Structures are given as structure tokens and as C-alpha cells.
Structure 1
Amino acid sequence: MHMPSIPMETAGFEPEIEKLIERIVTEIRRFAADSHRKTLRLVEIGTALTAERHTGRLLEKIVEEACAWTNADGGTLYLVDCAKTHLSFAIVINRSLNIRMGGSTGTIPWSPVALYNADGSPNRRNVSAYAALQQQVVNIADVYEAEGFDFAGTRTYDLQAGYRSKSMLVLPLLDHEGELIGVLQLVNAMDPETGEVVAFSGENQKICESLASLAGTALIQTRLINDLDRLLQAFIRSIGMAIDEKSSVTAGHVKRVTEWTMRIAKAIHDEPRGPFGDVRFSADEMKELQLAAWLHDLGKITTPNHIMDKSTRLEGVYDRIDLIRTRFEVLKRDVEIACWKQMAQSADEPLRSEAARSCDSRLNELSEELEFLSECNRKDRLSDADIERVREISQRTFLVNGVRKPILEPSEVENLSIRYGTLNPAERNIMNHHSEMTYKMLSELPFPKKLKQIPIFAAYHHERIDGHGYPRGVKGEEIPLQARIIALADIFEALTARDRPYKRSMTTEEALEILIQLGKNGHLDPELVAFFIEHRLYAAEGATVDDAPIERLDNQTAKDRLL
């Protein structure tokens, strides 16, 4: 039932009582407003703590907010070790002594606090160890007069620093399962009006308990996020290492491409001038690029080993040059048999001698042709004359069980006619498919927002500036800069690698000449190639290539030749 309000002056109260009621109402309003303000502040602190991803800064915020809330002169945050036997100093702050240690300022060289004595018994004499072991809050008005705890270390520190530790509030930090994370220790609550050291009030203790709960939750959240991030990075690196191990031919390739990629990216980030002067990579973008480089050949796990490891033109599951050698031996046998038959059927010595000479000439010709085919099987490049001679030799036949067969099968002629490299068109298509598979596989992974471009960066490293690359045939600026960087790193590593059995290792100068040609013909980004050469990134510290001066390139700069 609604009761109408009665004016104060008609309520029949004495003036003194009316004033008392007004004061009570005012105090209630002030208390309500103060409680509301503190509640909002706790919410703000909780939001700020949970938003912080850097562990060191998070720990600093926890101590700073606790000191600000209680007007404490100093605070220390300990973290328990994995074995839960020691508390390590993580943050130390003291305003009057102007001390800030730990967190973003570096490590603290002080010895950790043992939770257990040498005999294995709980260390209940140390107040921080006690709060950790008992998971209890300890509120002490004056540590010099406290009983049950050993503050000899505190007294010694005070004597050396010219300080007087007095009031202390120690709170355990627990995770969502009640497991110990660390301990928050505040010292010397200051009266905001007089500046005198006072005991930590019961209200401030309760608030700090709430703050400790928020801090524990935020710390565990940050740890979990950072642990998951480290797990993801380690897992991706392990995939890259597995890809390297899949093929003995390209072992270490992924790792080296990643190293070259990050050298180039860092140089671009640090250069304020030139075509990439406006490019700056954030820490997250650097991490995204690094992980993409580790995964750039992920699709090769679907590529057959005999194609990945194909070191000669005739190599498949085995090298078919051995079959060709066998056929030539059969052909030589036929020549020798024919010769011996001819000699046996003639008593004329000149005819016999001529038959022998013809046989030797024919055998030498076959040996030379076999050596030529063996050389074609191994050579980096074949000329038009080489290919034409392969086709001429392929016209030869040999006899098996009365059946004439070609000395070279059509597939062998095709492979021995590969102008550059060891892969025929069908094998090249299978090899190239790894980029499409890289994109498909990575697109299935739910990468966080800051890593969403990994599938594109990794899969597009075989795209060309002129649009004739794969898997999508995109061109120019449609190819992200990060993918263009990986492309350059991938090719330069392949050119200078010393562990490829199917080709000789190039000198740095030879590799750079090829990069220039690839930049001029629309394969690579010409500005990126020029940047790579002009900044001598090929001679970066720790590089596995020779870093002698490239005099010919210095005389005529790469930029002049490319752009």
C-alpha cells in the first residue's frame, strides 16, 4: 500500500532529531555513492586486467591497482613455481624508495621464498609462504610486533634501505580451481590525509580479496592464452620440421626459408625510405608472416616422395637409366654376336679384321651414346641439340626373344627431353598442386583473427607478378607483400642450397643474377628484388651463403637493371 510522503516539518520531530535524520540520510547516500564508485572501479580494473595479454605488464597492473586502492606505499607479487615448492619474486614496487623491479623492467635477482623447510615441513614462519600454504589472508598492523612470523629479513632490509616496514596485507592468488598461483603482499597503508602509516582496514582487505580473485582469474586467462599461442607456434614449427624431414633432398629448406623471410621483413620494417618506406609490421603481423613461412610447403605432405626427391630426369621409384644401360648391353651383345658370326663365316683375314674394326667402332658409338644419355639424365639444362640427339638415339631398337623393341620408351624420351630441372609436365603439375593443398588444408583451420591471412600468405608464394603463377593466377598488388617476401626467400634459398643432389649449388652472385632476371620477366616483385640486393640482405648475419662483395652488381645497381 502506497503511503503519501509527510513533510519533515509536519512529522512532529524535534529539530535535533530532524538534523540527525538528515545527517544519516546524507551518510547513507554518500556510502551508497562510494560503494557504487568502488564497484564500478572494480569492474574497470577487472576489465583492464583481463584485456592485458603481456604477462609482465599484467603483473605490474595487479600490484599498481592494489597499491592505489589501499594507498599502500609498496607491493610485492610472488609467483609459485611449477613444482609448487618456491615463491619467486615477480614484481617489487615501493613508491617512497622509488623502486620498480620485475615485469617489463627485467628480472629480479633475489632468491625465491621456500615454501618448505629443509626437512620437508611447511615454512609457516615466512608470512608469504604461510599465506600461500594455508591459502589465508594475513593482515598485520605492525610487523615488528607481530608474533608467529619471522621478519628478520624485513628488519635487515629496512636497516639497509633506511625504511620502516609496518602494516602488511598478504593475500594468496588462486585460480578458478582453487590452485595456488602466487601471493600479493602490500606494505604500509598510508592515511590519505596525514600521510601516516596505518593498518590495512577491514574494508580494504575485503576489496583486495576481490581484487586478488580478479587478478588470479586474469593471470590464468593470460597464461592459458599465451600457452595456447606458444603451443600453436611450436606445433606449426614441428609441422615445418616434419616437411623438411619428409625429403632428404630438401632437408632444412622450410627452416631456412623462414629465416630469410624474417630477415627481409625486418629490413623492410626498419627502412623509412624507398618503395616500402610506409610499410610497418606489427608484432602480430610479424608472427603471422613467420608462421606462414613455416607452413608454406605444407601441401607437400601429399606429394609423392619419388617426385619430391627426383634428382635425375629418369628417376621414379628407381632411376630408369639402369634399365637403359641394360638395353645398351643387350645391343652391344647383339653387335658382338653379329661380328663373331661374320668372322666365323669368312676365312679372309682382311674381311675378319674389317669386321673386328667395325664391331669396335659400333661398340664405342653405343658406349658414347649411353654416356650422353647418362649425362642428359643429370644435367641442369638441355640444349635443342641435346634434345634432338636424344630423339635420334631413340630410333634405335634391340632384339628380345625375337621381338624388336625401342632402345628408349616414349616416357623415357619425354623425360630425357626436359629442358630444365628433372620434372616432366605431369610431375610438375603434381608438384605444383602442393600450393593448392596448402591453401585447402590451412583454410580448414580456425586461425584467430590476427593469424587469418596465413593460408593466403603460405599458398601464394608461387604466384607471379605477371599473373602466370599458381594456384590462383593472381598478379601484381593482388599478391600480398608477405607472400611476395616468402616467394623471394623460397627461390633464393633453393638457388643457394648446398644439399640438392639434382643440381649444383650456385654462388651468391649467380643466384642474384637469376633473381634479377626473375624480377625483370615478371616472376618476382622487381622492387623487392632490388631492395634485397641493395640492402645486401643476401649477406645477412648467419646466412649460409658466401657474403663476398658482388662487385659486378655494385657497379650497375640492381635497381637500374630492374626498374
Structure 2
Amino acid sequence: MAKDPKGKASKPAKTQSADKSKKSAKAPLVHEHVAGDCALATGVPGHDDAESRADALNKFEAELNKREVDLIEREIKSLRQQEELDRLRPLSGLYRVVRAMASERRLDSLLDVITRETQVMLKCDRCSVFVLDAQAAELWTQVAQGLVGHRMIRIPVGGNSIVAECARTGRMINIPDAYQDPRFDPAVDRNTGYQTSSVLCVPMLARGGEVIGVFQVLNKFDGPFTNEDEDWLEGLTAVAAGLIEQAQAYGEIERFVDKTLETLAQTIDQRDPLTAGHSIRVTNYSLLVGQAMNVPDDDIDVLRYSAMMHDYGKIGVPEKILWKDGRLTPDEYATVQKHASITYDLLSNLPFTRRLQDVPFVASCHHEKVDGSGYYRGLKGDDIPFLSRIIAVADVFDALTSKRHYRNRMPIEKVSEIMYNGRDNHFDSTCVDAFFQLPSARVIAVLESERERAANFDAELFKNLSWQRLVELVSGGHPKRGEEGIAEVFDRIYNAGLPADYQSLD
């Protein structure tokens, strides 16, 4: 065996040649295999690769077509679902309006719900519910959704408006183009800045068939109002008419109860001319505080009736004690204290509804103190009804700022000192703080409302001033820009009509 220069044995030439021969022998077998595969794929032995590519493209195109069909089918399904949703949306709105029967008793709140849901149902820009005032021969709407800045509209039934005609005739009116209809008055748009296009009016009928109002919807978003819109609005109007009749009846009952309780309260106040108006003022102060503290509507009613009747038990206190000039003796004061328990006993005999059943208890707790030193139950802290804690603040404030047999009005800075010093011992501090943040113009309006010689005052002067800030100015605080002279004006208002020999209780 020959060796290479590096000393390694080299392969024989015969062997190398044999290897080459083996490699060259295998190559044709590979080509034949590929060609066979192509032939099997195309069906034609040795067919060109172009047909394979064409077949692959055909398969790809078929897959694209299948996916496109699937996409179209999904789109059709989605459109059908949307159509179904559009068809059911008015039914959903109708359900929400009906459900409002259980939660909305007041007419203004009910009208707000109805108009809002009608806009959603009919896909329109505006809805108004006009209620017939038969005595005034007018149609009025308290809520006109979308009409910014207008909360009350009144239309004569005998007028030329479309709404009035709908009410007079009791027939539906559907106008595709308002400006092409002679019944439409363009002055309405000029006055409001609105542009009316389509109009649909449907009369509301009472159970007896008489017209009690009109539904008016304006400017459908996608064209004129359709027959389907008419059907939906007629259905909604039938439901709304019953709800509105119910709300009107509830309002009449509520006004009767209000006036009855107010008369009873004034009967007690009138026993002593110096306390006349006390219950009404306490009620108004209490409502101001309650609204500022976001007391719910149902609780606001309890607050109003409780504040109005808080002193009703004084009917059991002898007039010689109520009218006494000078301070009361301990025994006399003990007699006066009994009025709280008498209030509870008397009010408990009245048939208050379930919603107002807390009135006797709340009214009788207005002399309780948060530290437990009040009367007549000696309740403490959160055991005292929250509404009673509001009334306590209003009651003391009115007592201190009113003339009594043994003193004149107390200086307002002294009143404020007593109120602040009573925080967290006599009063709930949050109620005191809420009172002092009230707009001073509203406090002054109540303060002067029942005076024999009510002083006129410019409410605009006090419009942006809280009661706390007014007290600071009256107490000698430095006025900011625009506050100059306010303390002097208030002093004239507060002391108007007081005797020349005025002496306050220090």
C-alpha cells in the first residue's frame, strides 16, 4: 500500500473509482422516484410542474370561496340578530315604562321616565308628554326631553298647534315633513332654535275614553315615523295614560294630606301669636338641609310631615305655660317636655301609609340629643333617627331667630355660636355643617317668610354666599370683592320691625 507524503496510507485507485461508480449508480434512482411521485400526483407520467401549481391554486381558491361563504352566512346571521334586537327594543322600553309604576308615584318623575324610554323605543330626537288641565283649558308639559332650558310649556287647547288639534279631535297625527304641513307653526322653531322635521302625535285616553293628554315625538333619526312606530306609540300611550291617571290621583291625595297636616300644625302655632309660622319654617329649613344631604325622595316625605307635626303635642300643654313672659320654672319646663310624648301618641292614631309609618317616631324625637341628654326617650347617637337630627337643628335655629315672650330675636352671631357649640353633644355635626353650607338667600327667605312685616331683600345680593360666610361677615369678617355692604344689608333685614328698646338674650 502506497503512502502519501504525510505518511498515511492512500486508498487504492480501484476503490476510489468503485465509490464513484456506486454514487453515480444511485442518482438515477432518486430522479425516478420524484418523477414517479409527480406522475402519481398529476396522473400523467413525467407531467410538467405547472399543472401541480395550477391544482394547488384551484384548491386554494376553493378554500377562499368556502371561507367567503361562511363569512357571508355569519353576516346574514348577525343582521338577522340585529333586526330581532331592533324589533324587541320597543317591547323592552314598554316593559321598563310599565315597571316604573312600582317605583314612580309622582307625576313629574313618571313623565321623565316615560319620555326618556319613548325616545329610545322610537329612535327619535325628542319626546314630550302634554297633560290636559281641563280647568285652564290648557295642555302642559313639565318635561320636554332634549329641550334644554325649558321645563314647562303650556298650550291652549283651542289653539292652532298640532298638539292642540290632536287633543281636540282625539285622533293620531303623523306628519313626515313639518314645514310642508299648514298646521305646523315655524315660530316654535324660531323661538327655541330647534329644527323640526317629522312629527307624530297620539292622544292619551282615560278609561272613560276622554282625552287626558297627548304624546308628541319629533324627528325620527332614519326618516319619517312608520306605521309600526304608530302602533308602538299607541300601545305605550295606553299604558302611560293609566299610570298618569294614577299619579294624578296620588298627587291629589298627597296635597290633601299636606294641607290637612299643615292646618293641624298651624292650629297649634296659632294658639300663641308669637310662635305662628314656627312649624312651617322648621319644615322648610329641614327640607333645605335634607335636600342638601341627598336624603331620598321617600324619606324627604317623612321628613316633611315629621317636621310639620313635630310640636303637635303642645296641644296638651296649658296656654298659661306656653304664653308665659319670662323663663319657665323646672316644673313648667317638665310640663312642656311632655309635648314630645304627646306628639307620638296623637300621631300614632293617624292612618299613615306604610311609606310614612315612621312619622310619629321621627316627629317625637326632635328633642333628643346625640350625647343622650335629650328627651323624652333619652336616645343617643345613631339611635336617634337621622331625620330627627335634621329637625333638631332646624327647630333650635328657628327658636333662636324668632321673637319669644321672654326675649327678642337673638343676634345671628350668637345663634351661630350656640349651633356650633352644640355639635356632637346636642346636634349631629354633619347636620349642623350642612345647614351652614346652605345658600344664604334660601335661609333668609325662610327666616323672613312668616314675619308680620316681612322685610324685602335682594336675593341676588346673597345668591353666591353660603350661610356660614354670611355669619362670618356679620361677625366682623373682612369682606372680599363683591361682599362689601352685605353685612349691613342683612342687619337691616334681620332687625326690621324690632322694637327700639330691643334687647337680645345673651
Residue 436 (structure 2) pairs with residue 422 (structure 1)? no
Residue 338 (structure 2) aligns with = 433
Rounded to whole Å, the distance in 2 between the matches of 1:151 and 1:169 is 13
Residue 171 (structure 2) pairs with residue 136 (structure 1)? yes
Rounded to whole Å, the distance in 1 between the matches of 2:173 and 2:362 is 54
Residue 361 (structure 2) aligns with = 456
Matches within 5 A, 1:155-166: 165=197
Q: Give the direction of change, closer, same or farther, for the CA distance of 1:462–1:75 in structure 2 (3 Å limit).
A: closer
Unaligned runs of 5+ in 2: 1-82, 449-466, 478-506
Matches within 5 A, 1:367-386: none
Q: Give the direction of change, closer, same or farther, for the CA distance of 1:508–1:184 in structure 2 (3 Å limit).
A: closer
1:462 deviates by 2.3
Rounded to whole Å, the distance in 2 between the matches of 1:535 and 1:78 is 38
Q: In the alignment, which of 501, 506, 511 is matched to residue 405 of structure 2?
A: 501
Residue 170 (structure 1) aligns with = 201
Residue 37 (structure 2) aligns with = none
1:151 deviates by 2.9
Q: Give the direction of change, closer, same or farther, for the CA distance of 1:477–1:249 in structure 2 (3 Å limit).
A: same
Rounded to whole Å, the distance in 2 between the matches of 1:301 and 1:107 is 42
Residue 185 (structure 2) pairs with residue 153 (structure 1)? yes
Q: Give the direction of change, closer, same or farther, for the CA distance of 1:422–1:180 in structure 2 (3 Å limit).
A: same
Rounded to whole Å, the distance in 1 between the matches of 2:223 and 2:439 is 62
Rounded to whole Å, the distance in 2 between the matches of 1:485 and 1:38 is 44
1:64 deviates by 5.0
Q: TM-score, normalised by structure 2?
A: 0.58
Residue 317 (structure 2) aligns with = 303
Q: Give the direction of change, closer, same or farther, for the CA distance of 1:74–1:310 in structure 2 (3 Å limit).
A: closer
Q: Give the direction of change, closer, same or farther, for the CA distance of 1:260–1:222 in structure 2 (3 Å limit).
A: closer
1:135 deviates by 1.9
Rounded to whole Å, the distance in 2 between the matches of 1:169 and 1:533 is 48
Residue 207 (structure 1) aligns with = 232
Write out per-residue CA displacement over residues 3-22 of structure 1, whole angstroms, 9 at most, x where no aligned residue.
xxxxxxxxxxxxxxxxxxxx
Q: Give the direction of change, closer, same or farther, for the CA distance of 1:174–1:492 in structure 2 (3 Å limit).
A: same
Q: In the alignment, which of 216, 224, 227 is matched to residue 185 of structure 1?
A: 216
Write out per-residue CA displacement over residues 271-307 of structure 1, whole angstroms, 9 at most, x where no aligned residue.
xxxxxxxxx5334434433432221101112323233
**SS of aligned partner of 2:209:** coil
1:432 deviates by 2.2
1:139 deviates by 4.8
Q: In the alignment, which of 241, 252, 264 is matched to residue 239 of structure 1?
A: 264
Letter paired with 2:151: T
1:534 deviates by 8.6
Q: In the alignment, which of 462, 469, 477 is matched to residue 382 of structure 2?
A: 477
Letter paired with 1:115: V
Write out per-residue CA displacement over residues 76-135 of structure 1, whole angstroms, 9 at most, x where no aligned residue.
543323336333455656xxxxxx217xx53366x72x4337xxxxx7xx6543332232
Q: Give the direction of change, closer, same or farther, for the CA distance of 1:182–1:50 in structure 2 (3 Å limit).
A: farther
Rounded to whole Å, the distance in 1 between the matches of 2:188 and 2:115 is 23
Rounded to whole Å, the distance in 1 between the matches of 2:410 and 2:429 is 23
Q: Give the direction of change, closer, same or farther, for the CA distance of 1:165–1:305 in structure 2 (3 Å limit).
A: same
Rounded to whole Å, the distance in 1 between the matches of 2:262 and 2:419 is 28
Q: TM-score, normalised by structure 1?
A: 0.53
Residue 242 (structure 2) aligns with = 217
Coordinate RMSD, CA, aligned: 4.8
1:214 deviates by 0.9
Rounded to whole Å, the distance in 2 between the matches of 1:74 and 1:438 is 49
Q: Give the direction of change, closer, same or farther, for the CA distance of 1:101–1:430 in structure 2 (3 Å limit).
A: same
Rounded to whole Å, the distance in 2 between the matches of 1:296 and 1:435 is 8
Matches within 5 A, 1:73-472: 75-83=127-135, 85-88=137-140, 100-101=146-147, 106-107=150-151, 112=155, 114-116=156-158, 127-139=162-174, 150-151=182-183, 153=185, 165=197, 169-186=200-217, 195-197=222-224, 200-201=226-227, 203-262=228-287, 269=293, 281-311=295-325, 421-423=327-329, 425=331, 427-472=332-377
1:449 deviates by 4.8
Q: Give the direction of change, closer, same or farther, for the CA distance of 1:506–1:538 in structure 2 (3 Å limit).
A: farther
Rounded to whole Å, the distance in 1 between the matches of 2:432 and 2:89 is 60
Q: Give the direction of change, closer, same or farther, for the CA distance of 1:470–1:222 in structure 2 (3 Å limit).
A: same
Q: Give the direction of change, closer, same or farther, for the CA distance of 1:243–1:92 in structure 2 (3 Å limit).
A: closer
Cα pair 1:263 1:537 within 8 Å, conserved: no
1:517 deviates by 7.6
Identity within the alignment, %: 27
Q: Give the direction of change, closer, same or farther, for the CA distance of 1:531–1:36 in structure 2 (3 Å limit).
A: closer
Rounded to whole Å, the distance in 2 between the matches of 1:205 and 1:221 is 24
Q: Give the direction of change, closer, same or farther, for the CA distance of 1:281–1:533 in structure 2 (3 Å limit).
A: closer
**SS of aligned partner of 1:215:** helix
Higher normalized contact order (CA 8 Å, seq sep 6+, divided by chain length): 1
1:173 deviates by 0.7
Rounded to whole Å, the distance in 2 between the matches of 1:231 and 1:132 is 29
Q: Give the direction of change, closer, same or farther, for the CA distance of 1:536–1:551 in structure 2 (3 Å limit).
A: farther
